[in-house]
Structure 1
Amino acid sequence: MIIRDNPHSLRLFFIIRGSVLPLVYLRIIFITLLGAGVALVQHFYPATFPSFTLAPVALFGVALSLFLGFRNNASYDRWWEGRKQWGKLIVASRSLSRKMVSYVDGTQKQGAEMQRYVINLIIAFSHALRHQLRSTDPWPDITPYMAQNDIQFLRDAQSLTDGILRLIGAKLGECRRQNLISDFLMLKMDEHMTAMADVQASCERIQNTPLPFAYMLLVQRTAYLYCFILPFAIVASQGLVTPLFSAIIAYTFFGLDALSEELEEPFGVSANDLPLHAMSRTIEINLLDILGEKTLPNPIQAHNHRLE
């Protein structure tokens, strides 16, 4: 995710990092060159492209704008839903950890071990979910927080994140059987576990249910078609400035399309995706602090205005 102050004045025209320009500049160049070619032909041979009303082109552009706007809104809704779910995970993780430390007697060795075991698993869950959504290797991040006899169980589990939740539930059940927590407190802790499972399922739903391919194809084809015919439609009235107008329109339509593609998959590693690494590190720092650890990992900082 891009983290920077809003640019002012002419600076906004020269910002590349965080812009969709690197994704669409080849298409813009093609449309600009096409516009330049059409403009030169019209300049030297004025009768090549006759003048006609721009009403059909204007209506075409309005329809395309509505399509792109709808797709952009749908993609942003997915991005924002993903951010809300990870905010929910941060709350549930902090709340469950706080209850473990507050209500399980940590003055006894057994209670202290229970606290550390469960809170470490919650940290492991946040890292495991991030790696699951990004299809990366989770073990370097979660192994330091796992009991050695749990690693093989999790390697054999169909879902790593679900396996971690089962381990947390089993340990809380053990706490209840040993009367370390009451029935009422057990119910409240289970609600936090359910919230964590809900976040997992919601993120999987977002990841596994993209926008309909046919709709994406329709929008992209229409954008290409419109930008291709635009120079021929306006060259009679705009003359040698046709390439400029063609480039601006191409940047707008192709840029909106590219931005929608990035926001549609909010858990990736592109510039405008969610900073899952920073959020899972926040959970890690908060929970280790709840445990009373003095040496805490450093927060993830933005590098070149980009937070991952």
Structure 2
Amino acid sequence: MIVRSRPTLLRLFFILRGSIIKRVLPQILLTAILSSLVVLCHNLWPGVLPVFNGAPFALLGIALSIFLGFRNNACYDRWWEARRQWGVIVFSARHFARQTLILETTSGEAGAVARKRVLTLVIAFVQALVPHLRTGVGRGKVERLLSQDINARYDASRNPPEALSLEIARELADLRAKGMLTDISYQMLDRTLADLTLAQASCERIRWTPVPFGYTLLLHRTAHLFCLMLPFGFDDVLGWFMPFGTALVAYTFFGLDALGDELEEPFGRQPNALPIEAIADTIEINLREAMGEKNLPPLPVAVDYLLM
């Protein structure tokens, strides 16, 4: 995710980091070159290429803008819903740490050891969500937290975060059986664990349920056809300003289309994806601090305006 202050008006036109222009630059250049060739052909060999009335293109442009707006709203809704679910994970993990204080107050040193063991599994659960949702992320941050037997079950599972949630549930059940948790405290912790797993399921729904492909394909095709045919409708009106006009329209339409693609995958590795790795690291720092650890790493910060 791009994290930076709002630039000044002058710098606004020269920012590349986080801009979508790098992804759509080939399409912009293609439409500008095609437009230049159309204008040149009309000036040198009038009548060779057809000239159309620009009114239908204007109506099609309005319709295409509306469709792109609908798609981008749907993609942003996916992005925002994903951020909300990770907000639930942050809250539930911190709430779990507060609830487990009952172990220290009722069971002394044994309870403190049990609390640390359970919270370490919660940290591992959150860290396991990152490679589960984002491709190309290793499991090193998870495996360093687990014992050898739990690591084996974690590696063998087809849903690693779910395997760790079962380990947390097993620990809570064991603590209840030993009398270190009352029925009420056990139910509260189990309810918080359910909130964590519900947020996981919501993130999985977003990750593996994309925007319908036919809708995306329709907009891709229409945007390309519109920008490639645009020079034939307004050449007689704009003349040599036509390449600049088509490049600007192409930047708008192709940019909105590409931005929708990035927002559609909130757990991807694009610059506008959610910083789930940084959120998971922040949760780990918060829970380690709740366990009383002092030698904590610094909170994640953006590097070159990018926080992942």
Match of 1:163 in 2: 163
The question of whether the paired residues in 1 share the 8 Å contact of 2:266 and 2:273 is answered with yes
Q: Structure 1 residues 130-139 or 210-219, which shifts more?
A: 130-139
Amino acid across the alignment from 1:75: C
**For the residues of structure 1 that align with 2:114 and 2:55, how far apart are their CA atoms?**
72
The question of whether the paired residues in 2 share the 8 Å contact of 1:43 and 1:240 is answered with no
Q: Structure 1 residues 99-108 or 118-127, which shifts more?
A: 99-108
Q: In the TM superposition, what whole-angstrom CA distance separates every residue of 1:206-252 from its partner, at most 9, and x where no partner exists?
A: 11110111111100000000001101110011101000000000000
The question of whether the paired residues in 1 share the 8 Å contact of 2:103 and 2:115 is answered with no
Match of 1:152 in 2: 152
The question of whether the paired residues in 2 share the 8 Å contact of 1:96 and 1:189 is answered with yes
| CA 1:156–1:105: 2 relative to 1, 3 Å | farther
| CA 1:154–1:46: 2 relative to 1, 3 Å | same
Q: Structure 1 residues 153-162 or 280-289, which shifts more?
A: 153-162
Residue 58 (str. 1) matches residue 58 (str. 2): yes
Q: Structure 1 residues 275-284 or 51-60, which shifts more?
A: 51-60
Match of 2:281 in 1: 281
Deviation at 1:104, TM superposition (A): 4.0
Q: In the TM superposition, what whole-angstrom CA distance separates every residue of 1:53-77 from its partner, at most 9, and x where no partner exists?
A: 3221111101111111111001000
| CA 1:238–1:123: 2 relative to 1, 3 Å | same
The question of whether the paired residues in 2 share the 8 Å contact of 1:79 and 1:263 is answered with yes
The question of whether the paired residues in 2 share the 8 Å contact of 1:101 and 1:290 is answered with no
**For the residues of structure 1 that align with 2:50 and 2:139, how far apart are their CA atoms?**
66
The runs of 4+ residues in structure 1 deviating greater than 6 Å are none
The question of whether the paired residues in 1 share the 8 Å contact of 2:52 and 2:232 is answered with no
Q: Give the alignment's Cα RMSD to 1 decimal.
A: 1.5
Deviation at 1:110, TM superposition (A): 1.8
Q: In the TM superposition, what whole-angstrom CA distance separates every residue of 1:76-107 from its partner, at most 9, and x where no partner exists?
A: 00000100000000000000111112444376
Match of 2:189 in 1: 189
Residue 112 (str. 1) matches residue 120 (str. 2): no
**For the residues of structure 1 that align with 2:177 and 2:77, how far apart are their CA atoms?**
44
- Scaled by the length of structure 2, the TM-score of the pair is 0.96
Amino acid across the alignment from 1:6: R
Residue 10 (str. 1) matches residue 17 (str. 2): no
- Scaled by the length of structure 1, the TM-score of the pair is 0.96
Deviation at 1:52, TM superposition (A): 5.0
Could you list the runs of 5+ residues in structure 1 that have no partner in the other structure? none
Q: How many residues align?
A: 308
